[in-house]
Structures are given as C-alpha cells and as structure tokens.
C-alpha cells in the first residue's frame, strides 16, 4: 500500500547526536540517538518514518525499529520518497544491471542488503531460481510486492524464501522456508564458477545454499594450484578445493564438520570429472588439522575459511583467539615454500585485527610469512562505505618462506 509522504511520522535526532554522519552517508540511526517520547514510541516496528536532525531538518525516509539497537534504517535520502512497487523496481533493476555487467552467467548474489540500498534483503540467484532472505520487518510486510518485482525483473520462474538465521530472530520474525513461486528444485542445482561445478542445496543447505562471496578468492587460490597438493579446511561444499582442482591441482582434501556439505562437494567433484583427485575428511576442523599434522601430512596450498568466530563485538576477543589458533595449526601443514590462505567473515574483526591474529598464529608455529594477496568479496557483494557489516569478508594469502 502506498502512503502519502506527508502521513509518515517523524523521528528526531537528539541534539548531541552527530547528524553529519548520516548526511555523509551512514544508513542507520541508533535508537540511543533518537528522541523517544510518547509519540515516537507509538510508531510500530517496520513502519516508515521521516528522520530529522535536532533542528527539524529532514535527513531522509526510513524504517523505524525503535525498540531495537538500530532505531531507523534509511531507505531513501528523499523524505518525500514513495516506497512502492516502482521504487522497489528501480532498486532491484539497478542491482541486476550491475550483476549483468560483472558476470556472464546468472549465478550471483543479486541483492546485498544495504550494499544495494535494500536494508535487510539478501537474494541469491541460481539460474532460473532465486533464494530470498528477508531479514527485516519492513520486507516481511511487503513480501508479495518484492516477490513479484524480483520475478518480473529477472524473468526467473522459481522463488524460495529462506527465513532462517540470527538476523530474523533479532527482528522478532519467525523462521520459515517456503516456495513463493514456481517449484523447489528436485535436487541440488549445479553452479559453474571459476571452471568448477558446485552443487547448491537451496532448500536444506547453509544460508541460501552456496557462498558466492568467495568467488574472487577461489580464483586467486586457483592461480597457485597447478600441480599442487591442496588442503581446504572448513570447505563447505568444496569451495576452494574444487576451484583448485579445476585449475590443475594434483590433489585436494576437503575438511568440514557437515556430512551433507561434503556429500555435495563429492557430487561436484564427480560432475567435474575430478573425483579421483578429491578426498574428504569429516570432523571438527581443529581436531582434523591436529590429526593431519600427527600423520606428517604436508600441502603446497592450505586454505582455511571458517565460520564467523566474531559475529559481534562481544565475541571479538574469543574470535581473534580462534583465528590465531587456526593460523597456528594450518601453518604446521604447509610445505616450506608453500602458501597459506586464511579467511574471515566476521565483520567485528576488521582487517588489521584479523591480520594481526593470523600473524601471531603463524609466528607461534614458527612460520616466516610474506603477505602476497589481500582479498575481499566480489562485485555482487557491494560494500556500503559507511557500514562495515557489508564488507565483512577478508582473505589473506601468505607465502611461507622455505
């Protein structure tokens, strides 16, 4: 339903709040920075509201969630914007145009939340199938409009709603997985990337079924993989291992705690014709790395891509210790003169803190590293410059001196 822009309630910043941050691009207003009186507290979660500074100058139109830590998420810098199907179509169309320029096949992240001006919305594309994660109340209330706009813009037939994860819980939304259009795929969807084939389980896999964010880092690892012995720890569906095998790795070992993920990795290796050079080890990654070291195993290229050990500031110190431990154990498995690639998807651990933790771990293992590459997510994960959460992924490649 389209509402008159003049009918929206107003949220105002306190005099002490720094309105310049929002004028300079910050997309959020913290609840602690808002004047919360009887009228503002009556604004329902997910309702549209105009944000003003302390002098009553409008800053934009956004979505109110004043009972949460983030009191308002900006949707448009124009306070008179109308958030309707046309507005949504323009945002989705711009995101699609970027992906169509960047990729020659329809396999990518189509919508990256604030990175594409659509707070809380994640959409991944798998050919003719879209998987949508609506992680905010305002999206839930406009589900039908979003679904129709996505299908119309892309020409896709199938649309899956994956309503799971911490972000939805934080918004007070229920966990639900449903088919919103078309049909659920009868089996895993083959996804071509970097010469490899990945199998995406869009109904039962992690997140949307596949992690597109590591695409460019897979490609860098593959450049070093010809003739190499490769170890891919926290491999999920074989992300780095399969890319390296596609580039001519001698052999690759994938380690993960999930049996279904490793089964999909094996299925991908079969589809690529490289199953004879691919093996898997299921178990706790730390335990498996210790076991490999005890076996005397060594690899020319070791990659560790763990889950978010520091998903927020409260977990930062423990997370950094975990990254240090990963680096220490992985270093012991690298052949002298080989390469170690360490990754983090924790936005709370910024690049400098993550790099420092990695270097401590490598040093404790007796390694002498040289940083040869710093990687991030690709262009289908555009970063909002004022929001570190959209630039969460880091990958550091170290040459270990012989």
- Is residue 3's pLDDT more than 50? no
pLDDT at 125: 98
Q: Where are the alpha helices (DSSP H) in 191-315?
A: 215-223, 239-246, 259-272, 285-294
pLDDT at 5: 44
- Is residue 4's pLDDT more than 80? no
In this structure, the strands spanning 251-256 and 278-282 are parallel
Domain ranges of the chain: 5-76, 85-181, 189-400
Q: How confident is the model at residue 311 (pLDDT cuts 50, 70, 90)?
A: confident
Q: Measuring CA to CA, which residue among 44, 14, 45 is closest to residue 29?
A: 14
Q: Measuring CA to CA, which residue among 327, 360, 352, 320 is closest to residue 341?
A: 327
Bridge partner list, 394: 344
pLDDT at 207: 83
- Average pLDDT (156-173) is 88
- Is residue 33's pLDDT more than 90? yes
- Average pLDDT (366-371) is 98
- In the chain, pLDDT over 70 holds for what percent of residues? 99
- Is residue 214's pLDDT more than 90? yes
Q: How confident is the model at residue 205 (pLDDT cuts 50, 70, 90)?
A: confident
- Is residue 7's pLDDT more than 80? no
Q: How confident is the model at residue 2 (pLDDT cuts 50, 70, 90)?
A: very low
* CATH 3.40.50.150 holds for 189-400: yes
- Is residue 295's pLDDT more than 90? yes
Q: Tell me if domain 5-76 and domain 189-400 are identical in fold.
A: no
Give how far the C-alpha of residue 337 lies from the chain's centroid of Cα atoms, to the nearest Å. Answer: 32
- Average pLDDT (282-291) is 98
Q: Give the length of the chain.
A: 402
In this structure, the strands spanning 121-126 and 229-233 are unpaired
Q: What are the pLDDT digits (tens) for 167-176? A: 887 778 888 9
Site of tokens 């020659």: 104
8 A C-beta contact, residue 94 and residue 104: no
pLDDT at 1: 33
Structural tokens at position 121:
């919305």
User: Given 156, 343, 345, 358, which residue is catalytic?
Assistant: 345
- Is residue 6's pLDDT more than 80? no
Give how far the C-alpha of residue 350 lies from the chain's centroid of Cα atoms, to the nearest Å. Answer: 15
The residues, ordered by sequence, that sit 6+ positions from 202 with a Cβ below 8 Å of its Cβ are 126, 129, 131, 160, 162, 184, 185, 189, 208, 209
CATH classification number, 85-181, choose in 1.20.1560.10, 3.40.50.970, 3.20.20.140, 3.30.750.80: 3.30.750.80
- Is residue 119's pLDDT more than 90? yes
- Average pLDDT (35-60) is 94
What mean pLDDT is reported for the chain?
95
pLDDT at 384: 94
- Is residue 163's pLDDT more than 90? no
Q: Measuring CA to CA, which residue among 318, 322, 265, 253 is closest to residue 291?
A: 253
Note the CATH number of domain 5-76.
2.30.130.10
- Average pLDDT (353-380) is 98
Site of tokens 């910024």: 350
- Is residue 109's pLDDT more than 60? yes
Q: What are the pLDDT digits (tens) for 72-83? A: 999 999 999 999
In this structure, the strands spanning 70-76 and 58-64 are antiparallel
Q: Which of the 8 DSSP states describes residue 401?
A: P
Tell me if residue 345 is catalytic. Answer: yes
- Is residue 334's pLDDT more than 50? yes
pLDDT at 169: 79
For the chain, the C-alpha Rg in angstroms (whole number) is 23
- Average pLDDT (32-36) is 95
pLDDT at 171: 79
């Amino acid at each position: 339903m389209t509402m008159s822009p003049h009918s929206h309630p107003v949220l105002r910043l306190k005099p002490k709040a720094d309105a310049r941050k929002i004028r300079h691009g910050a997309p959020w207003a913290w609840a602690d920075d808002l004047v919360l009186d009887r009228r503002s507290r009556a604004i329902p979660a997910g309702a549209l509201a105009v944000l003003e500074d302390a002098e009553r100058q409008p800053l934009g139109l956004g979505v109110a969630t004043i009972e949460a830590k983030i009191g308002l998420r900006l949707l448009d810098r124009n306070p008179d914007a109308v958030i309707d199907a046309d507005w949504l179509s323009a945002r989705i169309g711009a995101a699609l145009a970027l992906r169509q320029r960047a990729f020659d096949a329809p396999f990518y992240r189509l919508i990256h939340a604030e990175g594409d001006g659509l707070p809380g919305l994640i959409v991944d594309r798998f050919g003719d199938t879209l998987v949508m994660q609506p992680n905010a109340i305002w999206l839930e209330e406009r589900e039908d409009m979003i679904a129709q706009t996505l299908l119309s813009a892309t020409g896709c037939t199938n649309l899956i709603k994956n309503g799971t994860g911490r972000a939805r819980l934080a918004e007070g939304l229920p966990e639900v997985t449903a088919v919103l259009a078309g049909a659920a795929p009868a089996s895993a969807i083959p996804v071509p990337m970097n010469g490899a084939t990945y199998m995406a389980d869009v109904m039962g896999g992690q997140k949307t079924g596949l992690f597109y964010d590591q695409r460019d880092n897979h490609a860098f690892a593959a450049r070093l993989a010809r003739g190499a012995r490769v170890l891919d720890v926290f491999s999920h569906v074989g992300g780095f291992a399969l890319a390296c095998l596609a580039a001519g790795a001698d052999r690759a070992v994938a380690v993960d705690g999930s049996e279904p993920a490793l089964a999909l990795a094996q299925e991908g290796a079969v589809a690529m014709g490289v199953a004879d050079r691919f093996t898997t080890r299921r178990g706790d990654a730390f335990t498996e790395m210790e076991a490999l070291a005890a076996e005397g195993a060594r690899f020319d290229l070791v990659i560790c891509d763990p889950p978010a050990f520091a998903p927020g500031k409260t977990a930062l110190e423990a997370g950094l210790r975990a990254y240090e431990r990963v680096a220490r154990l992985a270093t012991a498995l690298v052949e002298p003169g080989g390469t170690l690639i360490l990754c983090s998807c924790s936005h709370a651990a910024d690049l400098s803190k993550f790099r420092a933790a990695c270097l401590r771990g490598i040093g404790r293992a007796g390694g002498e590293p040289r940083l040869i590459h710093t990687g991030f997510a690709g262009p289908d994960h555009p970063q909002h410059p004022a929001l570190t959460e959209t630039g969460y992924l880091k990958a550091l490649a170290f040459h270990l001196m012989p």
